[in-house]
Amino acid sequence: MIRTFNFAGNFAGLVCSLVWACATVQAKDLLSPYEAERIGMVESWHRQVGAIGGAEAIVDIQIWVQKSIQRELIEVYTKGSASAGVVTERISLTQKDLRGRPIGKAEAERLAKNSILKLKRRGIEADFRLIKVDQVRLYSLTADGNLTALDAETGEQMWSIRLGRPERGYSSLGINDRFVTVLNGSSMYQVSAMDVETVDKAGLRTIVPAGRPSEAKRIDGVPLHGAVNSGDHALITTTRRGMETYLLGQPTIEPGFEMFSGKAITKPATYPNSERVMWPTDSSFVYVVDTSGQPSSLFRLGVDGNVEGGVAAASNNRFFFGCTGGRVYAVDATRSGQVLWNQSLGEPFYRVPFVTGDRVLMTSGYGSLHCLNAANGRPAWARPATDVDQVFAHVGNQLVGRDRQHHLVLVDEATGSINGRFNSVFVEKVVINQDTDRCYLVGKGGMVQCLRSSENELPVFLRAIKPKDSGDTGSAKPPTGQPAAPAADPFGAGAEPATPAADPFGAGAGEPMADPFGAAPGADPFGN
């Protein structure tokens, strides 16, 4: 039998196979250990988020520094030599033993002493110390309603819960140390972010576990861009050209509502533990709300064009944003609404700024990455970097972002020169991290990869965030007309406050209220 070979058909099939294989290679969205090492990074961990549908099914993913909880570690370090102070080992108090339980301080110290003895046999003097590092979390919300809290330094799952009805859709998360606010359609859930000790109605102390949600609360309007937690409130912009405010921990209390000119273009922005919130509207205004006490509007500012990319918040009540009209603004969110500076760069801006240290990174619609001094708005580089779509991390002396084709790109923070472009790495989902020197990449299948500098095993915190009660942006005040019950069940089962309010004019406990006009008791306050 004579067999013929269909060269054209088989050749076409071979070409298609090669093209498909090359496309598969080019579709990589995470860095290999070798590629990470080339750019001075190492992989800390990688983990599947669990989203059905991969990266496209991740509704929101955010980094949060939990100031109320700290990781404890035992460090073994050398002393009495030229290399004194070099850390040779770190032992976490929460690492698991063979039974899956945290080893605790005593066991960690025992392991450290064993390491010190081994070093001593080699002629190296060493000691150990206890250190504490703020906990960093990675929150993710998927389209099927799965809310997960991961330890952003180890990838370990802290808790996970499924909320709401997926057919109604979900919005961006509102986060603070105490609660995570989730919007499902027109329903709001407030999820406890950490274990809280409370007193129930029977007077018994109980622990509310982390990940416990409140009952669904139906909001009055239709939410636009998700929730933001600021002060003691959750704020939600709606299609009614207004904002609804709900008390955190007590969402059933009557909400507040204010109307504004125009609909919100993007989600409101706030600095962690701050009580100032800013957002832009489609009427070419930006608004600022103060959430200390009862939330109220501070001021509005007219800008040149719309703020399509959103606002970036910084310390000391500062906000930065760029407009479609080509200007970049820095605003001090005081009651007077002082504009610190505005700079015309002649290019439209459609991305949220990335603020790190004293630098503000702005990407224009033409792909130019501008670096401005946060204090005066002057350019910090001789010329902008080109073909950059967005910056989302700062690792070591490099800015990590993606180009206009969404490929990974590295930019030198000092000069703006491009250190590398990785056309083989496609950044589909951006995780903006302005808090630590970590880079988080999300693969198409939903795999999250954490990359860090090879020099820093522990996180370097890029933003000076203080606990809420330390006076960073004004101490927390009880909401006007609302009960202040610090030991209450966050979802309504708390005890009544036992201490009466202090005299606002300075009288001591148990004394009659002082005369606000300064007169002696019994005297006529008008001097007659």
Instruction: Specify the pLDDT at position 468.
Output: 64
Q: DSSP letters of 27-47?
A: T--S--HHHHHHTTEEEEEEE
- Burial (0-12, 13-18, 19+ Cβ within 10 Å), 276: buried
Please give the model's pTM, rounded to 2 decimal places: 0.81
Digit-by-digit pLDDT tens for the chain (528 residues) are 444 444 344 434 433 433 333 333 344 788 988 889 888 899 999 999 877 888 999 999 999 999 989 999 999 999 877 667 899 999 999 888 888 899 999 999 999 999 999 999 998 999 999 999 999 999 999 999 999 999 999 999 999 999 999 999 999 999 999 999 999 999 999 999 998 777 777 778 888 889 999 999 999 889 999 999 999 999 999 998 899 999 998 888 888 898 899 999 999 999 998 999 999 999 999 999 999 888 988 999 999 999 999 999 999 999 999 999 999 999 999 877 899 999 999 999 999 999 999 999 999 999 999 999 999 999 999 999 999 999 999 999 999 999 999 999 999 999 999 999 999 899 989 999 999 999 999 998 899 999 999 889 999 999 987 766 443 333 333 333 333 333 444 554 443 444 444 444 444 444 444 454 444 444 444 444
The answer to whether residues 381 and 391 touch, using CB atoms and an 8 Å cutoff, is no
Q: Tell me the one-letter amino acid at 170.
A: Y
- Strand (E) positions, 176-222? 179-184, 187-192, 196-199, 205-208, 217-218
Tokens 């005369």 belong to residue: 515
Query: What domains lie within the chain, and their CATH numbers?
Result: 26-69+133-453 (2.130.10.10), 70-132 (no CATH)
Instruction: Specify the pLDDT at position 522.
Output: 45
Instruction: Specify the pLDDT at position 329.
Output: 97
Map 109-132 to HEC letters. HHHHHHHHHHHHHCCCCEEEEEEE
Helix (H) or strand (E) holding 13: helix 7-26
